[in-house]
Amino acid sequence: MAGGFAGKKGARQRHSGGFKGPGRGRSRAPSSGARAAGHGSAPTDDGLVRLFGSHAVEAALQNPRRKTLRLLATENAERRLADVIAAKGVVIDRATPGDLDHLLGADTVHQGLLLEADPLPEPSLDELVRAAEQTGPLVLLDHVTDPHNAGAVLRSAAAFGAAGVVMTRRHSPPLNGVLAKAASGALDLIPVLPVQNLARTMLDLKGLGFRLIGLEGTASTALEDETFAGLTALVLGAEGKGLRELTRETCDRLVSITTAGSLASLNVSNAAAVALHWAALQRQRANK
């Protein structure tokens, strides 16, 4: 549970490696650099992204901005994604489930797929602003380090029409592997901008007319009172710590999520889903 989203007691509770060779049909393991995506040993920092799981790999293959290099796939997985693989023209190395278990860790749900690709080009802040003018809010993540939570936030951002996600370049999980699997394809659907200084980026957004709405468990204002009118950004803090002091002070408004039960807190990804769903509902009402 995220301390930053703890609710209030009372009648209404609130919370805020390189693959070697073309090798089609071969059962060949990639180099040790691929042992990055799951729970294996530390990866070789070769600048490549490794994605696993059906949704993450399929979305990457369908993304024209994603340059793919090699796909390690079992026979069944290749059959499931045959049309998408053919359209992308990616080279396949045939693997067994055991090969992928060895590379990614026995507990990794890889679904017979491991894709090696280049990182996506980073969007500019101007591009995110233009997207926010047409769609929903931006999502700002303040030192959210858990890849499962960050990935789940991306998934909610895609589901509820957010314009993009901004996260800190340090103290954020890498944009591959576990995060991509948790995002269930959203990593290749939602633009993500890593920034060096989140507070400075928040000030830049305020200068462009954005209202910054922070989720904070101790806030007296309810999320349900927020209309999300105009250009807005939703700011979420890390598990346990919530928003850092400077981030909290830079927000225009702090809100908490109303809960009905005795369990008065949500983790950051669940809180993001609730808030983004509310923002989407408000946009729909405003457009009627």
Predicted local confidence at residue 262, as pLDDT = 61
CB atoms within 10 A of CB 107: 8
Q: Which domains does the chain have, with CATH numbers?
A: 3-13+121-287 (3.40.1280.10), 32-117 (3.30.1330.30)
Q: Note the pTM of the prediction, 2 decimals.
A: 0.83
Predicted local confidence at residue 233, as pLDDT = 98
Predicted local confidence at residue 157, as pLDDT = 97
List average pLDDT for each run of 10 residues in the chain, which is 288 residues long: 39 35 38 43 68 96 96 95 94 92 91 95 97 96 96 97 96 94 96 97 98 92 94 92 93 92 78 96 88
